[in-house]
Amino acid sequence: MKFRVERDVLAEAVTWVARGLPNRPPVPVLAGVLLEAGDDGTITLSTFDYEVSARITVAAEVAEAGTVLVLGRLLADISRNLPAKPVDVAVEGSKVQVTCGSSRFALLQMPADEYPTLPSSPEPSGSVDGTLFTQAVQQVQIAADRGDTLPILTGVRVEVEGEKVTLLATDRYRLAMRELTWSPNAADASHVALIPARTLAETAKSLGAAGSIDISLGQAAGGSGLVGFEAGQRHSTSRVLDGEYPKVAKIFPTNSETDAVVDTEMLIEAVKRVALVTERNTPVRLRFTPDQLTIEAGTGDDAQASEAVEAAVDGPEIEVAFNPGYLLDGLGVLGTTFTRLSFTAPLKPAMITGQEERDGELDTTYRYVLQPVRLAG
């Protein structure tokens, strides 16, 4: 195998496919990147760990077609640090020679014949705007569980009905739902997939800038156990999680006693400042009175802080307490100028939604439900 490729092209391609390589692969070959040089003037780089696959094809001057497997993270580190000149890659004996200007590296070949067969290219079930999808995934994945106690809660539930896509995630303390539209290939498209949140977030972030993302679900993805994503020459697949996701949609409050509209940025900054005095798992208290929200933390001999911000409050006065990290997670991805906080009772789940104007129309495409914390005493 022998080819020449632009440094930036190689660095970007290797970095993209190597981003999901396992830190401790169960077998050594899974730490590798598979390079395939074709007679059509392209090279294809691939990774696969039996859970997630990534594949990208880029243009190159191919002098000799062939396939080779090398350590992925090492190749990524090298390619990012090469001088801004064309890169020559060639197999010589048991080594892969990488030459760029006066820089020369000799990498060990890994046994390519032991590398697992990658999933086949899936057929798209439909497409979605990349920026919209990236934002939606970011808004929901924050609520997915990061522990291993209940693996099913580490996923994002993706439900498709026609042109409507609903993303849902929960860790039992908060619940996030985002609704958006996409362009399905079949008008009666109907799918449900539980995708690992971390994988979905990384995939959306890395593909979102491409403009449009093709998504493959169900049989189109090569089987019910897979989901596929494609944008330009970048392709990835992921195994979906098994199990029945809890019916958490009923947790969303259908009415409220007290509603408050607050400037989102002002609220975020105030909560951050007040939370500086909190210790781990210590809540911040929010007290809603006419035209004002007071945020407090700390009691007794502990460090204390308080700050008041303007708020349009409709309904009875109420005081609630939240985990500040969970509260800031939801506020940080809201994406609207104003935040609406809706309450039925101090210990009942509260709902956070957004709107662009203080007295404007409520945007319910994104809903973040947060369980208040019971205050001591």
Q: In what order do the strands lie in the sheet with 103-108?
A: 61-64, 2-5, 87-92, 95-100, 103-108
Are 13 and 70 members of one domain? yes
**Confidence band (pLDDT; 50, 70, 90) for 221?**
low
- Check residue 300 and give its pLDDT: 75
Smallest CA-to-CA distance from 373 within 177, 176, 174 is with: 174
Band of pLDDT at residue 105, cut at 50, 70 and 90: very high
Instruction: Record the tokens describing residue 84, joined without a space.
Output: 């801004």
The answer to the question of residue 121 being in a domain is no
- pTM here is 0.90
16 & 35 share domain? yes
pLDDT at 68 > cutoff 70? yes
- Domain end, chosen from 227, 249, 271, is at 249
- At residue 208 the predicted structure's pLDDT band, cuts being 50, 70 and 90, is confident
Percent of residues, the chain, with pLDDT higher than 90: 80
Residue 63 belongs to a domain = yes
In 77-121 the beta strands, taken as DSSP E runs, fall at: 87-92, 95-100, 103-108
Confidence of residue 127 (pLDDT cuts 50, 70, 90): very high
What residues contact 168, with CB distance under 8 A and at least 6 apart? 140, 156, 157, 159, 175, 176, 177, 245, 248, 249
- pLDDT of 377 > 60? The answer is no
**What CA–CA distance (Å, rounded) separates 211 from 62?**
29
Confidence of residue 222 (pLDDT cuts 50, 70, 90): low
* pLDDT score for 224: 63
pLDDT in tens, 294-335: 999 988 778 899 999 999 999 999 999 999 999 999 999 999
Q: What is the predicted pLDDT for the residue at 254? A: 85
Is 204 in the same domain as 313?
A: no
Identify whether residues 231 and 266 lie together within a single domain: no
Q: Is 248 helix (H, G, I), strand (E, B) or coil?
A: coil
Which of 24-28, 31-35, 38-42 shows the lowest per-residue confidence on average (mean pLDDT)?
24-28
For residues 108 and 136, membership in a common domain is answered with no
> In the predicted model, what is the mean pLDDT of residues 29-58?
95
335 and 318 fall within a common domain: yes
Count how many domains the chain has.
Answer: 3
Give the per-residue pLDDT at 149. 80
Amino acid present at 86? P
In a domain, 375, yes or no: no
Q: Is residue 377 part of a domain?
A: no
Average pLDDT over residues 366-372: 96
Q: What's the sign of the alpha-carbon dihedral 339, 345, 347, 351?
A: negative
pLDDT beyond 70 at 220: no
Q: Is the same domain home to 193 and 159?
A: yes
20 vs 288, higher pLDDT: 288
Confidence of residue 361 (pLDDT cuts 50, 70, 90): confident
* Domain at 284, CATH number: 3.10.150.10
DSSP state letter for 17? H
Give the sign of the dihedral formed by CA 358, CA 361, CA 363, CA 367: positive
pLDDT for the residue 170: 95
* pLDDT (mean) for 100-109: 96
Query: Is 204 found in the same domain as 174?
Result: yes
Nearest alpha-carbon partner for 45 in 19, 26, 64: 19
Which of 249, 273, 288 is the last residue before a domain boundary? Answer: 249
Determine, yes or no, domain membership for 108.
Answer: yes
Same domain, 281 and 188: no
- For residues 339 and 329, is the Cβ–Cβ distance under 8 A? no
pLDDT of 223: 62
Residue 99 φ/ψ, nearest 5 degrees: -125, 135
Averaged confidence pLDDT in the chain: 93
* Interior angle at CA 188, CA 183 and CA 189, nearest 5: 60
Q: Which two tokens stand for residue 227?
A: 């989901």
pLDDT in tens, 154-168: 999 999 999 999 999
Q: Do 233 and 283 fall into the same domain?
A: no
Q: What value does the mean pLDDT take over residues 77-100? A: 96
Percentage of residues in the chain having pLDDT higher than 70: 98
* Residue 120 counted as domain residue: no
Same domain, 155 and 199: yes
CA–CA gap between residue 186 and residue 176 (Å, rounded): 27
Question: Which strand (E) or helix (H) includes residue 300?
Answer: none
User: Mean pLDDT throughout 62-66?
Assistant: 97
Helix (H, G, I), strand (E, B), or coil: what is residue 11? helix
- Cβ-count burial 121-150 (b if 16+ within 10 Å, e if not): ebebbbbbbbebbbbbbbbbbbbbbeeeee
Res. 23 pLDDT band, cuts 50 70 90: confident
Non-local CB neighbours of 230 within 8 Å, separated by 6+ positions: 121, 122, 124, 213, 214, 216, 236
Do 242 and 268 reside in the same domain of the chain?
no
Identify whether 376 is part of a domain: no
Beta-strand relationship, 95-100 and 87-92: antiparallel
Is 162 within a domain? yes
Domain that holds residue 92: 2-114
pLDDT tens sequence across 235-273: 999 999 998 898 887 888 888 999 999 999 999 999 999
Question: How far apart (Å, rounded) are the C-alpha atoms in residues 268 and 247?
Answer: 31
Q: Which among 60, 82, 114 is the end of a domain?
A: 114
